[in-house]
Structure 1
């Protein structure tokens, strides 16, 4: 975009201030309106399909790294600040599983909590019935918090829901600072964003996200780094070279338990002179193996599966496919050694190679099926950014929160998956 960023920030200031004032006035009325909300009568009166139609969609094509996101996040901060001043939202008893069809007194505080956060229309009223309105509202809440949208109140939904508004306000403020810092950088019109706490990847073109991909990022003790680089190479059917950290932490202990592990995993060992070494000649009771190169051959069980996405960086990390596709359905996707696994990676690779002659989707698929290793230089390297944004807003009352997996936001209760 050709608009000067600083000018844009100044130009949107008046608009943002007006919007924030309106949002604050609305927030000040929310709690009182909920307290005065009419109580519903019979359960049957509300068990219908209209509930899902009354809840705004959470999905958005707005990039996280945008001036609009900054403005909407400022509005969200104003709303949460006013809610905090009024005492915040109520706690929801986390004593039982609640789902559609249930009638239980605990649904009353659940309704109140969902109304305060804007997930349930106040017109839905207060009653003990977990009807279609509550079901849709819970799913909306779950979507905003990166949880499975099943409409069931379980452990992680309760934990996310019962974090105090003051803590959420602090989280928004910390992340607004990060967003503002990034606004001084020129991301260009086409880039890839890896949002680490969301375990999500955005392919951005101009003012919109053209595709989103579920990701798997680093464990707490093997964190995915924050970085900026450019994707300069795609490798189809890659060899996998095990980092020294994995050799020490994983391969050596596995070989001590199972001497056939390397053979079964199609991993070869090479010495400094590039000559292959017989694993049986290595003393696995020491760290001798850390001196050697471990290379896994291309194939179905390769740790990177069909694709590796390379970009220069000092952390030796990259993005890649995985043979363990079921991991993308896990609730907490913090399971790698620092690199980023990408769901539907072929769609992303096709987009990255769009301007590289001879590598349209059909040729990419053909090369993958060949099983042969093929490095492809990217004609126009695509910027890639690994960032840590755990709270932001996309407007229309939609504020997103994610697990503060690496404890960068300053409150232990935000590390939901480790509690």
Structure 2
């Protein structure tokens, strides 16, 4: 660490250093002492000759209070202008070179994203810009100050909203879904404050346009007015705008290799460097809308409230850290009380036939036939299924930390993999090719050979093995996407999550008339 001996410095040089620092600091801030002269020169309106930064500041404060109800982030915007002497940077640096008009043009075209241009006040901004460009429109200095403040605040607010919408999405998924546990970045004060420091407006606006090929494919389908087979044009549009919103969320994998499960597609992919190197059918948790009772066209306002079925697989991201070969199934209390105890009450040999052990206070009960399961308290016993061919977890399960106690696993129940609707599990994800996933995680070699051998044994013992390179796992919910041939695929909304999302999005979406202009 560098140390300074202040005794070696005389007071005069120290004052000079401090003064130089202040000069540099102040030079970083805009000087608007010539505010009136600049505005008069650019507008040819004599009213602006008398404009001063001090006069503007007083009116600016009042307009900030009046416009507070119209701002999405009033505290951030107010704090910025308070800290920057109410400097109207957008008005002074971006109106007269056409930047603000350009910005309003981008706002007007936001229907290309399925969103309502009215959200971003394009008409209001253009009307104010027109007043500045008409040398007779602004009649007095008070009107001038108010219009400067109003245009400045409206532009800042709309630009923040527009930037947030395209880069982060309109909605926070955590606020609308009860079982959403995927890390999702949302805008903060630092990201929102960037709009105050834009130098090249067009470059900035172009930089925040979504560029994901999947997004662009759905956007093209929306602009072309596509209609999916078996769906009306209205329902197709709602599929597209709901999934475009999902694609705007900052929750996408950043790893070069990861495992992804798409619930509505009943499919798992191992992705490596942007390509699927393994895919398989999966079975997921039973859903509330598996019979398609509700759709994106026929539903009411209450449907936007998320009411997950108890067995639905959650959306989450985590890291696969280990596998358990020939696992013991610690049967959850909900399954034990609603299914296992019910069957055991009907058939005294049910537990032994299924290799299920019963425990009371941690101690195994040797003679379970003496228990009256029909009248037993639901939480008195614990149930564990031993490894074997009948074990509900099959021969292997893949472990990753999560609050929902779900995992990926093998299963002895193979028939459902032939069904079109595979939302049949209690919440975990059943794998069509568990050994293939193990090979992807462990690679060829002695460890994988050991796993394959253990899975084939007649008298197996549970064995936990750490994954050599921990691999990210994402369980997602996407009902509409472009396949490798560019064809838009649609899947039934088995959990009704599109309905929930669309219900919250409705007030932000472009109207049919606005979409017709695309």
Q: TM-score band, normalised by the shorter chain?
A: 0.5 to 0.7
**In the alignment, which residue of structure 1 is the partner of 2:461?**
372
Question: In 2, are the aligned partners of 1:267 and 1:297 still within 8 Å (CA)?
Answer: yes
Return the match for 2:284 from 217, 227, 243: 217
Q: CA deviation at 1:162?
A: 3.0
Q: Helix, strand or coil for the counterpart of 2:420? A: coil
Q: Helix, strand or coil for the counterpart of 1:194? A: strand
Q: CA deviation at 1:247?
A: 0.6
**In the alignment, which residue of structure 2 is the partner of 1:169?**
237
**In the alignment, which residue of structure 2 is the partner of 1:274?**
363
Return the match for 2:491 from 397, 402, 419: 402
Q: CA separation in 2, counterparts of 1:186 and 1:192? A: 9
Q: CA deviation at 1:297?
A: 1.0
Instruction: Give TM-score scaled by structure 2 length.
Output: 0.49
Q: Helix, strand or coil for the counterpart of 2:447? A: coil
Question: In 2, are the aligned partners of 1:282 and 1:288 still within 8 Å (CA)?
Answer: no
Return the match for 1:179 from 247, 255, 278: 247
Q: Does 1:71 align with 2:199?
A: no
Q: Helix, strand or coil for the counterpart of 1:288? A: coil
**In the alignment, which residue of structure 2 is the partner of 1:206?**
273
Q: How many positions carry a matched residue from both structures?
A: 271
Return the match for 1:323 from 412, 417, 421: 412
**In the alignment, which residue of structure 1 is the partner of 2:353?**
264
Question: In 1, are the aligned partners of 2:329 and 2:386 still within 8 Å (CA)?
Answer: yes
**In the alignment, which residue of structure 1 is the partner of 2:447?**
359
Question: In 2, are the aligned partners of 1:283 and 1:289 still within 8 Å (CA)?
Answer: no
Instruction: Give TM-score scaled by structure 1 length.
Output: 0.60
Report 1:12-411 matches (<5 A).
67-79=212-224, 82-83=225-226, 161-182=229-250, 184-220=251-287, 221=309, 222-354=311-443, 358-360=446-448, 362-370=449-457, 371-394=460-483, 396-410=485-499
Question: In 2, are the aligned partners of 1:193 and 1:201 still within 8 Å (CA)?
Answer: yes
Q: CA separation in 1, counterparts of 2:441 and 2:216? A: 30
Please report the RMSD computed on the Cα atoms of aligned residues, expressed in angstroms: 2.6
Q: Deviation per CA, 1:287-333, whole angstroms, max 9, x where unpaired?
A: 52533221111111111111111111111111111111121001210
Q: CA separation in 2, counterparts of 1:70 and 1:354? A: 33
Question: In 1, are the aligned partners of 2:345 and 2:372 still within 8 Å (CA)?
Answer: no
Question: In 1, are the aligned partners of 2:357 and 2:364 still within 8 Å (CA)?
Answer: no
Question: In 2, are the aligned partners of 1:240 and 1:302 still within 8 Å (CA)?
Answer: yes
Larger Rg: 2
Q: Helix, strand or coil for the counterpart of 2:441? A: helix
Q: Helix, strand or coil for the counterpart of 2:281? A: strand
Q: CA separation in 2, counterparts of 1:408 and 1:273? A: 40
Question: In 2, are the aligned partners of 1:269 and 1:278 still within 8 Å (CA)?
Answer: no
